[in-house]
Structure 1
Amino acid sequence: MANDSSLAGVVVNLFSGSYLNRRVLLTGHTGFKGSWLALWLSRLGAHVTGASLAPATTPNHWDLLGLGAVDHRIDIRDPDAVARVVAEAQPEIVFHLAAQPLVRRSYAAPIETWATNVMGTCHVLEACRATSTVKAIVAVTTDKCYQNNEWVWGYRETDRLGGHDPYSASKAATELAVASYRASLMSRPGAPLVATARAGNVIGGGDWSEDRLIPDLVRATGNGTSLEIRSPHATRPWQHVLESLSGYLLLGERLLTGQNAFAEAWNFGPDSHGNRSVSDVLGRIAESWPEIRWHMTTQSHPHEARLLSLDSTKAHTLLGWQPVWGIDDALRHTSEWYRTWLASGEIVSSRQLDQYIEDAAVVGTSWCQA
């Protein structure tokens, strides 16, 4: 697959062919979300350069994929290393995903979290300012960048930023840093257009991160043990990783065409059916994976928000973005990925990407047109 794809005999055009032969820099490419994005960009015909730390776990999705992208192992807290990679890659668009992404880790390593998420982003933006080829930047933050008031309705892009834990607060600060660069340092004609993207709780095969529900569940199941659950009633906007990535790619397409109106903050969350409690998600997984077991912990843990949801009306209305897989499809494909890998070691990521694109064509998404 490159510019287009043949599905059931019908040729579909993906993202208007915007990524074919494009030079793309992807920070955080060895992570869960980054590795899936690297796979998709490669299939779109982009020339991908990755910049990231080594994968944090063994196994990991990046190594299992075996992609041929240019692979730089750097720490984005090092401004000279970031500048060197950007200057060498001469990218046309940058997807900035590198981060310290874990809430619980941020309590143990707050300085690392702030330095990586805020200053690391500034280092990327500075390097892009100094590189004339860069036309567009999509900086990925999180749904947790909002000041969480435990509202029953979803947060909109205009709602107040904030955060209780170092991770959430650092991502709110990252949003402010990007907005500042956009307004003051990247406002001249010809400067890169920069947008931020805020997604919900992404799930999917190939995630082995610590302190995440499904990776922890997979590890427990593989070991034949019961998973300890901290907050069974906590509600999150669950979505498959490909849903958020389709939003990032669609946003990048708009920026590459020089549409300044899209250089803003964007939510990419599931529909209301995707807002589910941890216990509900586990129950739905168990329907197709009866071997899983879990129990509620009796220990106290650091504070985490109990209720969080996103309002993605802006992306629906102005970008034409829409979810393709609902919560049941997302959980089914995630369970299938891990069950297949545990049984045979087969990696079904490419096959699932094909299925997602085929389903997107049926739905009639704006980025996948016959």
Structure 2
Amino acid sequence: MESLPSSSFWQGKRVFLTYPTSFLGAWTALCLQHLGAQVFGFSETAGKNPNLFDLTNLAQSISMTYGDLRDEESFRQVLQFAQADVVLHLGETGLLTEAEKKPLDIIAKSVMGTATLLELLRETASVRSVVVVSSDKVYERNPENKALVETDKVGAGDLLPTSKLCSELIALSYRQTFFNPDKYNKHKIAVASARLGAGIGGGDFSETSLIPQAVQSFLNKKNFEIRNPNSVRPWIHVLDQVSGILKLAEALYVKGPKLSPTYNLGAAEYESVGEVMKEFSQIWGTTWSSVSESAGKGSLSLHGQMSSELAAKDLGWKPQWDLTKALAETAKWYQGYYSGRSSVGELTSVMRGYF
């Protein structure tokens, strides 16, 4: 079984993508273009500048429509125009701090945006495969810290992953009610969800994400202080995540209802923040930069481990890049960007090296 998405499958496919303006969304749209797909995007405008979507001029290279996913009529028109084969619903994205400032907005977009999409797909005859992206933080806390599998308990947590869980449950409810695998010959739509954590890679400009913070410290020749250097986190390049999403969508299209309703697409490596930031500093190539522990410690964050054995078995998917390679490619992109090289050219080079 091929471990990467098939270019022969994606060549010429019409793909409808929500939130291509996000970090994950921009990478997904670029990869789909690289594989020869025709991409149709629908979301609100990118919230902050700079952002990868605008830097790579995706609004000019894909069929892009700006709007609110809760606007049923606009959503219907875009879907009817796209006549997509595959739908990738990346969902509302953002930071926990932002979600806490506007909780009703985040919840409404996650819940009603997903429900509107799935309801409109009942009217869309062309679609065969639907992937709804969820979060690795939907699982209940695991005191034993064992690797979580898809059948482990889920539950409410922080606002952002909980809204993702609501979105996932709505999608799976539609799967059971309207797109039931037992009636696949009637509706011809296969639906599944994919649980992902935060990925790293070039083009992330979030002010609270570790990699962009480190980059700014290195560029400004400042010491990079970390609140919780001993906090162990999952580390995975965003290209591996995109690859998993596309592998799942491809399998749903080919195999239909034979797949599981949910797949973990998790990292293969879990390392401490302090060690990873020190390695990133060394890869960056600076002799003056250093990483240290902040005087004001924060609470140790908990990141449960996900088992991706089911995705390996059913999809043939696993991360292709180890942590050192992921960090090296990430550093290479930022160094190219801040040296004035083309964002598109840098990303094309990365994708060629991956695919």
Instruction: Note whether the superposition's TM-score is higher than 0.5.
Output: yes
- Alignment RMSD (CA, Å): 2.2
State which drifts further: 79-88 or 313-322. 79-88
- Say how many residue pairs are matched: 343
1:340 aligns with 2:336: yes
1:351 paired residue number: 349
1:48 paired residue number: 39
Offset, 1:233: 2.5
**How high is the TM-score relative to the length of structure 2?**
0.89
> Structure 2 vs 1, CA of residues 292 and 52 (structure 1 numbering), >3 Å: closer, same or farther?
farther
2:164 paired residue number: 171
One-letter identity of the residue aligned with 1:337 = W
1:205 paired residue number: 202
One-letter identity of the residue aligned with 1:48 = V
Q: 3-state SS of the aligned residue for 1:249?
A: helix
> Structure 2 vs 1, CA of residues 225 and 98 (structure 1 numbering), >3 Å: closer, same or farther?
farther
2:311 paired residue number: 315
Among 136, 144, 149, the alignment partner of 2:142 is 149
> Structure 2 vs 1, CA of residues 38 and 304 (structure 1 numbering), >3 Å: closer, same or farther?
farther
% identical equivalent positions: 33
One-letter identity of the residue aligned with 1:56 = G
Residue by residue, what CA displacement relative to the aligned partner does 1:305-341 show, whole Å, maximum 9, x if unpaired? Answer: 4232110010111211122101111111111111121
Residue by residue, what CA displacement relative to the aligned partner does 1:171-224 show, whole Å, maximum 9, x if unpaired? Answer: 222221111111012224224211111123200001112421112322344444
Q: 3-state SS of the aligned residue for 2:92?
A: coil
Among 317, 321, 324, the alignment partner of 1:328 is 324
Among 228, 233, 238, the alignment partner of 1:236 is 233
Offset, 1:252: 0.9
Residue by residue, what CA displacement relative to the aligned partner does 1:252-281 show, whole Å, maximum 9, x if unpaired? Answer: 11111242122511011122xx11121121
1:3 paired residue number: none
One-letter identity of the residue aligned with 2:8 = G
1:31 paired residue number: 22
**2:149 and 2:306 in contact (8 A); partners too:** yes
Query: Distance in 1 between the 2:46 and 2:86 partners?
Result: 23
- Structure 2 unaligned regions, length at least 5: none
1:117 aligns with 2:131: no
2:279 paired residue number: 284
Residue by residue, what CA displacement relative to the aligned partner does 1:74-111 show, whole Å, maximum 9, x if unpaired? Answer: 12233332222112211111011131332232222221
- Structure 1 unaligned regions, length at least 5: 1-11, 358-370
Among 101, 111, 131, the alignment partner of 1:108 is 101
Offset, 1:20: 1.3
State which drifts further: 284-293 or 65-74. 284-293
**1:239 and 1:327 in contact (8 A); partners too:** yes
**2:131 and 2:249 in contact (8 A); partners too:** yes
Q: 3-state SS of the aligned residue for 1:158?
A: coil
Residue by residue, what CA displacement relative to the aligned partner does 1:22-77 show, whole Å, maximum 9, x if unpaired? Answer: 11101111111111111111121111111122122222111222241011111223
1:256 paired residue number: 253
